[in-house]
Structure 1
């Protein structure tokens, strides 16, 4: 979640649609497929014979150890500068209170504590990018099994950024972002998947986004995944597709997703989106538990 992410989603919108509608169709409230202005509706069924397979596991962390996250696989983004979204947390490094592995899970914990004078909260942001870590890939299936926090003011995310920034002004959003899962605590159980690029992103209010309801997301584990090919990026929960974005073939401005991307895991506090309804200070500490992260290679049939 770099310098981006705004309040595109309103709880009132969900209520007006009705939770039953959200639950019934895995693609409600999606700006999908051919253009940002595409009408909302269910996705077309997948082809009988997919063009690609994602059978080969090429990188993973199963978190079957205890202690700090494996330094051969993860590094940290550190700081408390608001991260472009007016977030309130300070992201720490190698601090067990904020990121640790125990009981077979990675625990990312947001805490109400002023480790730094300008930040009232601490948390962690783990990154799979880095020389020799192997957690970056062009195309493939990126899969994370997780239980997410739900306190008002939390903003957990499982998402992806490019390793390099060759396009446009060499910064976000020109080089793209893929959000596998986002959740804001003031709208419990409402899960978002999105793509952002120069042509389509939240500042211009035309990002490609899918929304679905997972009522027990904060109490149970679910598998959040994307499958990324040269033609499409699709998102699913527990194997149920609810978002797709298609390569329009118009150049990098609309499709910068042809270079290696890596995974980020974090729990933000407050911010332009996560803090829209205030923060329940009594809810902290809040945790995101991650059972595993797996990256599968794409192969043509």
Structure 2
């Protein structure tokens, strides 16, 4: 039986038809490397092609990442308050006064608000501010909140209308005397009669909160339409800061945020520093030298005028009078102030 001749394709190569596939003589086998060598060669080719393909892409990704890290380093460093950029221009450490009476005579502070003995515009407050609620101990000023012996019917008049507000607590207040006029050598300018305080700068307080149900300690700056609350707290483990803008020709606006100490520390257990950097461009808040947040002027403006510096210990209306402040063996709560400092930018001096 003769074998069928192998068919030839159009390109001259041998082609085995379906019926003759078992009869086609296969081409001589080519030399094949051992399996181990073939795998090693394939791996080397794959690795080299992979590196040649991915290394440029990895480089393209790596360099932007390195650039971001380099750019992020200064931003991370700026989270710490850079005291070397500021010049201390004013310090109140309460170390030079014999007692509160001496402080009343020689210090720049007054111990009650300008017109009334309570903030009449805030229905949430239930305290009567009095010099008796201020005490000096070991160079620290104590603003002491405590229940009054009996409720006080505080009478006042607004726009010719007589009003009575029932108050249940007395407490301490600290603000600047009208005699403390703006310092032009600091770059401050007065904008209306009686305007006092400091315009722009770094304002810092070191204090320990007293705690207790209903206590409302605060450190703030006030200048007409602008109020900057550096510290407000109604809890022993958190506090808030705020920027208020109350223009006469527009709606009131504010930006508030709440924070905790690192690790959720008890703010009544130790002293902490609360600070604000106030410039024409922004308001930046700090706790213990670490930046908390920045409110740019493009988001919420501030009025360019000297601001009064105020420290007070309010008590929220409705606080449990009979058991207040709810601390074991105590019938009072003291906001203890170590110092208050004001800085100006070094470049401005």
TM range (shorter): 0.5 to 0.7
Once the two structures are superposed, residues 280-300 of structure 1 have per-residue CA deviations (whole angstroms, 9 ceiling, x without a partner) of 525331000000001111343
**Offset of 1:116 from its aligned partner?**
2.9
Tell me how far apart the structure 2 counterparts of residues 80 and 258 of structure 1 sit (CA, whole Å): 27
Tell me, yes or no, if structure 1 residue 123 matches structure 2 residue 171.
yes
Once the two structures are superposed, residues 147-174 of structure 1 have per-residue CA deviations (whole angstroms, 9 ceiling, x without a partner) of 0121011111011101xx3xxxxxxxxx
> RMSD over aligned Cα, in angstroms?
2.9
1:1-301 matched pairs, under 5 angstroms: 45=76, 54-64=85-95, 65-68=97-100, 69-71=103-105, 72-75=107-110, 76-77=112-113, 78-80=116-118, 82-92=120-130, 94-95=131-132, 98-113=133-148, 114=150, 116-117=152-153, 118-132=166-180, 136-162=197-223, 165=224, 175-184=225-234, 187-198=235-246, 207-214=254-261, 215-248=265-298, 254-271=300-317, 280-283=323-326, 284-300=331-347
Check conservation: 1:51, 1:300, Cα contact below 8 A.
no
Is the alpha carbon distance of 1:149 and 1:262 closer, same or farther for their aligned partners in structure 2, counting shifts above 3 Å? same
Higher relative contact order (CA 8 A, sep 6+): 1
Say which one has the larger Rg.
2
Tell me how far apart the structure 2 counterparts of residues 51 and 231 of structure 1 sit (CA, whole Å): 17
**Offset of 1:269 from its aligned partner?**
0.7
Tell me how far apart the structure 2 counterparts of residues 58 and 124 of structure 1 sit (CA, whole Å): 26
Stretches of structure 2 that go unaligned for 5 or more consecutive residues are 1-74, 154-165, 183-195
Aligned length: 229
Structure 2 length-normalised TM: 0.59
Check conservation: 2:214, 2:325, Cα contact below 8 A.
no
Once the two structures are superposed, residues 8-62 of structure 1 have per-residue CA deviations (whole angstroms, 9 ceiling, x without a partner) of xxxxxxxxxxxxxxxxxxxxxxxxxxxxxxxxxxxx64769x9996532222211
Structure 1 length-normalised TM: 0.67
Larger fraction in helix: 2
Tell me how far apart the structure 2 counterparts of residues 67 and 47 of structure 1 sit (CA, whole Å): 40
Tell me how far apart the structure 2 counterparts of residues 133 and 100 of structure 1 sit (CA, whole Å): 26
**Offset of 1:86 from its aligned partner?**
3.0
Is the alpha carbon distance of 1:149 and 1:260 closer, same or farther for their aligned partners in structure 2, counting shifts above 3 Å? same
